[in-house]
């Protein structure tokens, strides 16, 4: 993709910061939409931060008109706090309302962007057991699956303007700082690591470098559209993930956390940890995307060196 203006919602988050850095390095003008432009500007030096409320029309829409692309990453953090009724509403509304607002701006633009790339999650497939989910698999029926279904549908209107739309259903994004990995590492540092629950639940994961590379791939490849699973082709059972993490950290992995303890501590959110999904990145691989970190141990060694 030739250099141009790229509008990014959620640009101050884990994925957004890493993606914005690479887009700027490629010579793009990057506009970050944020409720807190001051914070966004500090976390993404070189980008231009513009205020929006992630729900309604405003002056920010002018940034979409004539932009080369839009990247939609905004959404309340699933893993922060217990899932109260209010929290679940924030999780849903932060994704759906922001997606609809962006789609409306694209539809209203005199010069709509060429592509909209949207974040989503493998939680779309619900509770999976040992079933392997591809992009052809139907959505699940639990809370997270319902959120993902509405999240993806929120931007569908852009296709009425001929805008290519790509949805990347990400697994657990592993990063050295931020996201889930530092929380996973802590008990191992304290010699108290081990499997969670039965340990048999599958964990679909992706290294942050591959996460960002896939977003760039989706932006640049004109023949890629629709939903794609974004997770390593080698998902791991929770117990195997823990053993590999212990080996990398040179720590034991023999202190399990029972399911009932996680349910007491986390409430309904424990389903994210205890259920999991076994996801195959079928369409991404078929399109020619090459994972830099397809195997878990080299990925963890790179992040925890």
Asked if the model's pLDDT at residue 36 lies above 90, the reply is no
Q: What is the pLDDT of residues 71-111, one digit of tens each?
A: 999 999 887 778 899 999 999 999 999 999 999 999 999 99
Structure confidence at residue 237 (pLDDT):
95
Boundaries of every domain in the chain: 5-172+207-231+279-291
Element spanning 207, H or E: strand 205-207
Task: Say whether pLDDT at 44 is over 80.
Answer: no
36-45, 50-59, 110-119, 240-249: which has the minimum mean pLDDT? 36-45
Tokens of 282: 């079928």
pLDDT score for 254? 87
pLDDT computed for residue 268 by the predictor: 74
Helix, coil or strand: residue 39: helix
Residue 182: pLDDT over 80: yes
pLDDT at res. 246: 94
User: Each residue of 227-263: pLDDT tens digit?
Assistant: 999 999 999 999 999 999 999 999 999 888 888 787 8
Whether 233 and 285 have beta carbons less than 8 Å apart is answered as yes
Task: Assess whether pLDDT exceeds 80 at residue 202.
Answer: yes
pLDDT at 264 exceeding the cut of 80? no
**pTM of the model as a whole:** 0.94
Question: Across all residues in the chain, what is the average pLDDT?
Answer: 93
Q: C-alpha angle with apex 20: 54 to 179, nearest 5 degrees?
A: 75
Structure letter (DSSP) for residue 165: E
Mean pLDDT of 1-5: 82
Residue 266 has pLDDT above 80, yes or no: no
Give, rounded to a whole angstrom, the gap between the first and last alpha carbons of the chain.
33
- CATH fourth-level superfamily of 5-172+207-231+279-291: NAD(P)-binding Rossmann-like Domain (3.40.50.720)
Q: Report phi then psi at 107, rounded to 5.
A: -60, -35
User: Residue 31: pLDDT above 80?
Assistant: yes
CB of 169 within 8 A of CB of 120?
Answer: yes
Rounded Cα distance between 204 and 282, Å, is 13
Mean pLDDT for the stretch of residues 16-27: 95
Plot region of 130 (φ>0 → left; ψ -120 to 50 → alpha; else → beta): alpha
Question: Of the candidates 4, 48, 14, 16, which has an alpha carbon nearest to the alpha carbon of residue 215?
Answer: 16
Share of the chain above pLDDT 90, in %: 75
Whether the per-residue pLDDT at 42 is higher than 80: the answer is no
């Amino acid at each position: 993709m030739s250099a141009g203006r790229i509008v990014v919602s959620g640009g101050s988050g884990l994925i957004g910061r890493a993606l914005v850095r690479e887009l700027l390095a490629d010579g793009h003008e990057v506009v970050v939409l944020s409720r807190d432009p001051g914070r966004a500007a500090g976390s993404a030096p070189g980008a231009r931060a513009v205020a929006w409320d992630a729900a309604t029309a405003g002056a920010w829409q002018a940034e979409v008109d004539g932009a080369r692309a839009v990247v939609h990453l905004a959404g309340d953090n699933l893993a922060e706090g217990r899932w109260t009724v209010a929290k679940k509403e924030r999780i849903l509304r932060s994704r759906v309302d922001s997606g609809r607002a962006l789609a409306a701006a694209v539809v209203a633009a005199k010069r709509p962007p060429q592509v909209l790339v949207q974040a989503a999650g493998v939680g779309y497939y619900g509770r999976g057991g040992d079933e392997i989910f591809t992009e052809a698999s139907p959505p699940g029926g639990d809370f997270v699956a319902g959120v993902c279904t509405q999240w993806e549908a929120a931007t569908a209107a852009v296709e009425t303007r001929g805008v290519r739309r790509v949805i990347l259903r990400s697994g657990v994004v592993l990063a050295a700082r931020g996201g889930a990995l530092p929380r996973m590492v802590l008990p191992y540092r304290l010699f108290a690591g081990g499997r969670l629950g039965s340990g048999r639940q599958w964990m679909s994961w992706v290294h942050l470098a591959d996460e960002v590379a896939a977003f760039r791939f989706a932006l640049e490849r004109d023949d890629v559209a629709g939903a794609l699973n974004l997770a390593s082709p080698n998902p791991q059972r929770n117990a195997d993930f823990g053993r590999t993490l212990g080996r990398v950290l040179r720590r034991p992995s023999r202190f399990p956390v029972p399911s009932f303890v996680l349910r007491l501590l986390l409430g309904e959110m424990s389903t994210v940890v205890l259920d999991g999904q076994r996801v195959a990145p079928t369409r991404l691989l078929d399109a020619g995307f090459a994972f830099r970190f397809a195997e878990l141990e080299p990925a963890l060694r790179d992040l925890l060196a």
